[in-house]
Amino acid sequence: MSYYSVNLPSYTIGEGCYKEIPHTTRFYGKTAVVIGGKIAMSKAKDKILEGIKDSDVEILDFIWYGGDSTYENGNALIDMDVVKKADMIFAVGGGRACDTCKYVANEMDKPLFCFPTVASNCASVTAISVIYNPDGSFREYYYPKNANHTFIESSIIADSPEELLWAGIGDALSKECEAVFASKEDELSHTPMMGVQLSKICTTPLVEYGKKALDDLRANKVSYELEQVALDIIISTGLVSNMVSAAPKYYYNSSLAHCVYYGSTITKGGEKHLHGEIVSLGVLCLLTFGKEYEERERIAKFNLSMGLPVCFEDIEITEDDFDAMAEKAMTTTEWDFKPENAGVTKESFIQCMKETDEYGRSIGVTGVWMILCVKIARNFKLYDRNVSSIHKNIKKDRCTKNEFH
């Protein structure tokens, strides 16, 4: 048998954790270039500089990553002299910034340290990058090494956009059901078996602590619940990803819920909504496909309580889009690694979306959805994303007076 390696992520979390930068990076060099989102770097810059104060670590520059995780942006960074000169790369921001930096660090064979500023995804610890085309449509997966270490500064997470934690919760809801579904027909060896088993602890913290974590983030308050949800989204799901992703041998990291998302990237409605927001609806589609109706009801109730979507109208997609969405889904890695005997076809995929849509409409979407969107638009108008446009087309008859508090 041939050998293989598994590199699991290490991390530091808490208020003031950037003080550990000099100690953690001491074997990797003395100079670093910080690459990330503009707002993310503005929030993290002073804390990073304070963290390396009176140490041997020197920041050469702070550079914008380009706005999306594309090969074009990554290659532009690779060509920069300051990036070539740096011993280490510090990735600051959300998923697309981290994915871009993982590509850059891997291509340049440089140590990478991630500083997530939002708890919306597990990109800062995974050995996979989602690469998009310049037009924003999904291109492919790229498989780099994972970061050498991840620093999660709780006070920055508590000061992040509400909508991103909200969407991160929606994305993390998919980890358990997708890993279990994708792997159900295979005899699992040690590493993927650990990953699938670990996926089974990813849902409970979200359901138990999600609402309180979101409330605390709105108040810019670091709390136990917020840190538990952040760890679940960033670390737990990331550990699963690193253990169940070994394409072309096997790939259980995501499945039909993400097929719904990637299908949505070619629709006019889908491009207005966040990744995790759409994936949370994809979870209901996957549970519908697997006839797991009891679990679907549990997650649907949770989605409603959090203002996450339960039908396609919530994300401005209509049944007329389903055929094109299915065609796009069929080009993805998730589709290539679907269980062979599960009956996944273009027609059955479309049918599960139709059934989910009917179910979501039947349970009566409450005013929680509208309320949350209004709060997001009010509270986060200073961020780059034009949140106020998210649900401008929601019909008034889907809310009642008693549902506004």
Instruction: From 157, 186, 208, give the residue that closes a domain.
Output: 157
Q: Which residue range is the domain that position 35 belongs to?
A: 11-157
Output the pLDDT for position 386: 36
Same domain for 311 and 375, yes or no, is yes
Output the pLDDT for position 232: 97
Of residues 50 and 365, more confidently modeled? 50
Domain count, the chain: 2
Percent of the chain with pLDDT over 70: 89
CA neighbor of 174 nearest in space, from 242, 99, 233, 102: 233
Q: pTM of the predicted model, to two decimals?
A: 0.85
With a cut of 70, say whether residue 380 has pLDDT above it: no
Q: Would you place residue 379 in the very low, low, confident or very high pLDDT band (cuts 50, 70, 90)?
A: low
Instruction: From 157, 175, 195, give the residue that closes a domain.
Output: 157
Which of 72-81, 82-91, 247-256, 367-376 comes out lowest in average pLDDT? Answer: 367-376
| 128 assigned to some structural domain | yes
| 3 assigned to some structural domain | no
Output the pLDDT for position 8: 87
Same domain for 105 and 239, yes or no, is no
Output the pLDDT for position 78: 98
Output the pLDDT for position 138: 85
Output the pLDDT for position 103: 98
Same domain for 170 and 249, yes or no, is yes
| 241 assigned to some structural domain | yes
Output the pLDDT for position 247: 84
Instruction: From 138, 157, 176, give the residue that closes a domain.
Output: 157
Q: Would you place residue 393 in the very low, low, confident or very high pLDDT band (cuts 50, 70, 90)?
A: very low
Residue 7 token pair: 């590199």
pLDDT digits (tens, 9 = 90+) for 188-206: 999 999 999 999 999 999 9
Rounded to the nearest 10 degrees, how much is the dihedral formed by the CA atoms of 223, 225, 226, 230? 140
> What CATH number is given to the structural domain containing 263?
1.20.1090.10
Beta-carbon contacts of residue 199 (< 8 Å; ≥ 6 apart): 175, 176, 178, 179, 180, 237, 240, 244
With a cut of 60, say whether residue 266 has pLDDT above it: yes
| 5 assigned to some structural domain | no
> What CATH number is given to the structural domain containing 149?
3.40.50.1970
Secondary element (H or E) of residue 246? strand 245-246
Same domain for 136 and 178, yes or no, is no
Same domain for 105 and 178, yes or no, is no
